[in-house]
């Protein structure tokens, strides 16, 4: 399966399911795997969940973490985040159009 544009081996999808700590995301990954989905789209909050889960990535998931971190950094630099609330904590997630340059 491809996540954020890179191939992720089946065994690593199972490892990611174990690590994410988000039942909705785990279910989405497992369902996609079971249906043999080739490319799985993830929204920004799910991508951020994976970044947190891969703070110390196991072998084979380093590239996924790196791509997600670079993408997150780009969104921050370009102003593509909006505020969202998760539980008791507010995080900043930017989406939509990026800042326009003059």
**Residue that is written with structure tokens 């993408």 in the block:** 71
Q: What is the percent of the chain where pLDDT is above 90?
A: 67
Residue 99 lies in a domain: no
Full-model pTM: 0.74
Q: What is the pLDDT of residue 89?
A: 45
CA atoms 15, 18, 21, 23: torsion sign: positive
Task: Return the higher-pLDDT residue of 25 and 95.
Answer: 25
Residue 62 lies in a domain: yes
Which domain covers residue 90, as residue numbers?
2-94
What band does 56 get if pLDDT is binned at 50, 70 and 90? very high
Q: What is the pLDDT of residue 31?
A: 97
CA atoms 72, 80, 25, 48: torsion sign: positive
What band does 88 get if pLDDT is binned at 50, 70 and 90? very low
Count structural domains, the chain: 1
Residue 102 lies in a domain: no
């Amino acid at each position: 399966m491809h996540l954020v544009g890179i191939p992720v081996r089946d065994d690593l999808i199972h490892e990611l399911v174990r690590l994410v700590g988000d039942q909705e995301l785990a279910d989405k990954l497992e369902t996609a795997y079971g249906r043999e989905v080739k490319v799985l789209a993830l929204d920004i909050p799910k991508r951020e969940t994976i970044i947190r889960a891969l703070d110390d990535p196991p072998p084979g998931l380093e590239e996924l973490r790196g791509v997600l971190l670079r993408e997150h950094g780009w969104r921050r630099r370009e102003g593509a985040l909006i505020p969202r609330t998760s539980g008791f904590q507010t995080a900043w997630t930017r989406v939509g159009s990026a800042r326009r340059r003059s």
